[in-house]
Structure 1
Amino acid sequence: MPSTTTTARLLRLLSLLQTGREWPGSVLAERLAIAPRTVRRDVDRLREMGYNIQATMGPIGGYRLDAGSELPPLLFDDDQVVALAIALQATTGTGAGINEAALRALTTLRQVMPSRLRHRLNALDFTAIPRRPGDATLVAVSPEVLIALSSAVRARHVIRFDYGDHLRRVEPHHVVSAESRWYLVGWDLEHGDWRTFRADRIALRTPTGPRFTPRDLPAPDVAAFVTGRFKGSEQGDQWPCVGKVILHRPARDVLAFAGDGIVEDLGPDRCSIEVGSWSWIALAAALSRFDTDIEVLFPAELTRAFGTLAARNAATATRSNRQTPGSHAGA
């Protein structure tokens, strides 16, 4: 077995090789303060451990770490360990079917990491909601912010933070990864209501406030609550406005754009769709995008919404015609 000093040197050598560049042997020797012959011996030791290190010949020579046929021991710095743990916990939101393997990998990671990192990761807890097609671009959040929010959730401490131009006092309930962003779900003490806050917009203040007794979410779980809020619903993961119409288009043309709607084939040129939205006007506008004749089956609120939308569109067209250069008589 290599001595402790040799082991430390091997780890330093491996850390340099993992940067992905090719290192001249003389540069490695200088970086590690060892002789070039010792560099060659240490490279051989790493090869015996399973690392595929390629050597290039020439006046200066060089070493490069390539992919091998077996998985060798890996070396991560502190930030990489935290990033890896967050990624493993977030696998439930990928839909890749690797939840069990990710959980085992996370357990293994926790068992071998030093106590300083284990303490940080134990404070990190969140729910990942699967991404949907068309979700926004991923927004980066500092791992330290996520850890601080998770710690407050676990400790049940009121937190204060700047959010835009406002100071918020919140009882934190859960950290959530959803629709390509990170959110804090909590009870807003000033507004007396449940709110979701984008974590990338939170600027935490210290110290934290007093402990609190957690409240019950108005939904079966935090995933249903957040998904419902995105839909504009106070009742969990369901649309507040749901209607059914007949579209004068074949079902095959509608299915690709139906989202979570239910489409029924009614013949070669007709189909029905039952779908929801956050308001009746929004639902009428969404159905209008199919660019065809529409018959409302239910409810009456949707019929009235089409009338309101038609009146608004007519008024918009009238105003636009008046303001467009060259539209006046005799112009």
Structure 2
Amino acid sequence: MTTDTPARLLTLLSLLQTPREWPGGELAERLGVSRRTVRRDIDRLRELGYPVRASMGADGGYRLVAGKAMPPLVLDDEEAVAIAVGLRAGAGHAVEGVDEASVRALAKLEQVLPSRLRHRVATLQAATTALTSGDGPSIAPETLTVMASTVAGRERLRFAYRAGDGTESRRVTEPYRLVSTGRRWYLVAYDLDRDDWRTFRVDRVGDPFPTGVRFTPRELPTGSAAEFLRRSMRRHNDSYEVVVAFAASAEAVAARLPAWLGPPEPAADGTSCVWRATVSDAPEWLAVRLALLGFDFRVREPAELVACVRELGARLSGAAGDG
């Protein structure tokens, strides 16, 4: 019989988080208590914010349903390992849709994992090779989780940084946000030595170290980390302007474009739009990315992207036996 009420509540919660309905008698048998105790424990879970629905009947049943807020989850060892491995695999590449929120979730999970489970996660990931990988450079998940933790905790971050020309330096920053572009991760932070805002490619960061020094966040000049990154890229020599016309509404195109690239401008007819952006990715990659959006489009600028799209179209037509 489970006499420790907190331990019994955690066990009960773990059972209820299995997607099924549990008869009261079965729960009582699993916990080694009376049905009355089960009912009292159910009431305690409801007071803690867990939406437990009871069904009528001879034995009665209980099911955990969706509520207005996300209550804490209770995971067994296998579930925790599976989630951690999945988050680490996604965080290692700047996969579209795997943004800072998932990295924060990974940081929280790894912080509370027992050492035996952290070892299992690391061992499983080291022994696993993905069939496909992202277009961008791989990043150690530990680097992202350290950065996400300092962003959330408003803690100064120190790291080594290698610039595009190979110059190496040490930086002490006040991290503001992590931004995923779909191929790469960037850190937007205030550089204390340079007394100014900066963006850092995370794949060029080494030895990130939380200093333990807390700070009050400064106001970002652009108000949005994504907008700051766009403007930062515009200042770099390797960036270029893109103008693309789509035969689709601005809402439809915006739903498939990475948010950091900015929304397209709707045309007067409401059925087409024009997308203008500053990018630093290779034109070959951008040509493929535009084709995967699933809309008819025409590239207006630059000429290099026009040539890449034309070459891609010819190659795909040839592969299909049409030319």
Q: Same fold (TM over 0.5)?
A: no
**TM-score, reference length from structure 2:** 0.40
- Higher gyration radius (CA): 1
